[in-house]
């Protein structure tokens, strides 16, 4: 487990004296699958790619029009500010107020990031060091673990699929570990397991954070991708949240702007300032024309966000209903861009990596093996609903064919 994206470099050990932190990263578990996917594509084979939460739909045309306009202004080609331009931060404050009733001070409690992943990683670098421990959700989105590892911190991964139990294990860990955990990472709707929570969860988490003196980072990447009337709560809407933590949001999923690299960190002003300090040294911020287009997106494209969520809900139904017909035990997710599917018998015995390889090799379907998200993910596959409904129907047919071609006993 390392990163979800295709990596063009090999996993061979370095022959130059790289830093210890690089050596702390484990071998890349998606490597074999990505290599096969690449080989199939080079051979001209159509792969239905459900491997990564990388939206394939175009953003609202208004956003691209604004970008095209802003790009013509020479002033937008200079270095921008590392924290994000003020109007962008103000727009984020408006959005939090409208959606969650949360008031944010744009000059102290909001910073723009180059996608939330960049912000998240640098926040961990700002907070964590040797001897510090973070509690992260398991199964784990790789950057939740490795941004802590790269900052030389230690990780305790706690199963998140039962949120009540997750909370009581956090409390238990705080009672028994010395030194106590410094940071707890929350991520609801959760990638990869699609676990969701209600506001009370965050109320309780804030209470624990105050009791045991830890900080909280809420990764709210799937804030707007909710189904069947479910509304994902914001950590910042819980009383006292600003005293203990921050929340990351992104335009990647809600607005289908993943390649634009626009995210935000909001909340505790000291944590935001710590991130701003690191970013002030590392980068000059997002291309200003992109920031201007992002303002237009947030100001005028609410309908597009709703239709993105409706589109994913339709795809979720197609994929889940299809897999159920094949005999898979599927729980329909209430939010997020992923179906977290238990591998049916007897294929579960192959292990998730080999089964995912088989689906790709024999069926042309790329999925992420649960094992790629840590030990807790074994026995599951993560399927991203990023292809359209017609392609998802095709995917189900091809998975069915692979399953029918195999004798039902696997040693």
Ligand X SMILES: Cc1ncc(COP(=O)(O)O)c(C=O)c1O
The residue ranges that bind ligand X (CB under 6 A) are 53, 115-117, 141, 187, 191, 219, 221, 250, 252, 258, 263
CB of 114 to ligand X, least distance (A): 8
CB 409 within 8 A of CB 346: yes
CB of 347 to ligand X, least distance (A): 26
Phi, psi angles (nearest 5°) of residue 384: -85, 135
Pairing mode, if any, of strands 154-159 and 133-138?
parallel
Of 334 and 363, the one with the shorter C-beta distance to ligand X is: 334
CB of 120 to ligand X, least distance (A): 6
Of 246 and 403, the one with the shorter C-beta distance to ligand X is: 246
Helix (H, G, I), strand (E, B) or coil at 9: coil
Buried/exposed 265-285: b ≥16 CB within 10 Å, e otherwise? bbbbbebbebbbebbeeeeeb
CB of 12 to ligand X, least distance (A): 27
With a CB cutoff of 8 Å and minimum separation 6, the contacts of 178 are none
Of 242 and 373, the one with the shorter C-beta distance to ligand X is: 373
Residue 397 to residue 321: CA distance in whole angstroms: 12
Residues in the chain: 411
Q: What strands lie across the sheet with 368-369, from one edge to the other?
A: 338-342, 380-384, 368-369
Of 186 and 402, the one with the shorter C-beta distance to ligand X is: 186
Of 53 and 364, the one with the shorter C-beta distance to ligand X is: 53
C-alpha triplet 228, 267, 277: angle, nearest 5°? 130
CB 296 within 8 A of CB 95: no
CB of 21 to ligand X, least distance (A): 21
Tokens of 384: 């991203």
Containing 179, the helix (H) or strand (E) segment is none
CB 162 within 8 A of CB 138: no
Of 118 and 347, the one with the shorter C-beta distance to ligand X is: 118
Of 215 and 396, the one with the shorter C-beta distance to ligand X is: 215
CB of 320 to ligand X, least distance (A): 19
CB of 409 to ligand X, least distance (A): 36
């Amino acid at each position: 487990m390392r990163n979800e994206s295709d990596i063009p470099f090999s996993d061979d050990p370095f022959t130059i004296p790289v830093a210890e932190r690089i050596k702390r990263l484990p071998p890349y578990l998606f490597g074999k699958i990505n290599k096969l996917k690449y080989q199939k594509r080079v051979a001209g084979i159509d792969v239905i790619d459900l491997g990564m939460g990388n939206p394939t739909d175009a953003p609202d045309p208004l956003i691209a029009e604004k970008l095209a306009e802003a790009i013509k202004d020479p002033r937008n080609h200079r270095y921008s500010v590392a924290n994000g331009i003020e109007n962008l931060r103000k727009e984020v404050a408006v959005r939090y107020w409208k959606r969650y009733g949360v008031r944010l001070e744009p000059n102290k409690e909001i910073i723009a990031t180059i996608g939330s992943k960049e912000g998240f990683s640098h926040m961990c670098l700002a907070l964590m060091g040797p001897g510090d421990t973070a509690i992260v959700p398991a199964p784990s989105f790789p950057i939740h673990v490795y941004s802590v590892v790269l900052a030389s911190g230690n990780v305790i991964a706690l199963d998140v699929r039962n949120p009540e139990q997750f909370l009581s294990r956090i409390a238990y860990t705080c009672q028994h570990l010395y030194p106590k955990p410094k940071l707890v990472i929350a991520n609801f709707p959760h990638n990869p397991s699609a676990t969701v929570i209600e506001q009370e969860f965050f109320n309780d988490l804030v209470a624990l954070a105050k009791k045991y003196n830890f900080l909280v980072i809420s990764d709210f990447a799937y804030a707007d991708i909710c189904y069947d009337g479910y509304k994902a709560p914001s950590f910042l809407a819980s009383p006292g949240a600003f005293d203990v933590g921050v929340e990351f949001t992104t335009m990647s999923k809600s607005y289908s702007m993943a390649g634009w690299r626009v995210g935000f960190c909001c909340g505790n002003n000291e944590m935001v300032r710590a991130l701003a300090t690191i970013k002030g040294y590392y980068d000059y911020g997002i291309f200003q024309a992109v920031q201007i287009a992002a303002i237009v997106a947030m100001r005028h494209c609410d309908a597009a966000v709703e239709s993105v969520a409706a589109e994913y809900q339709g795809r979720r139904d197609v994929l889940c209903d299809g897999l159920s017909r094949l005999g898979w035990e599927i729980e329909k997710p209430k939010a997020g861009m992923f179906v977290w599917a238990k591998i049916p018998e007897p294929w579960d015995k192959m292990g998730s990596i080999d089964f995912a390889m088989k689906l790709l090799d024999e069926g042309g379907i790329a999925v992420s093996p649960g094992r790629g998200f840590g030990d807790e993910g074994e026995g599951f596959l993560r399927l991203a609903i990023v292809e359209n409904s017609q392609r998802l129907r095709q995917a189900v047919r091809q998975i069915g064919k692979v399953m029918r071609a195999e004798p039902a006993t696997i040693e």
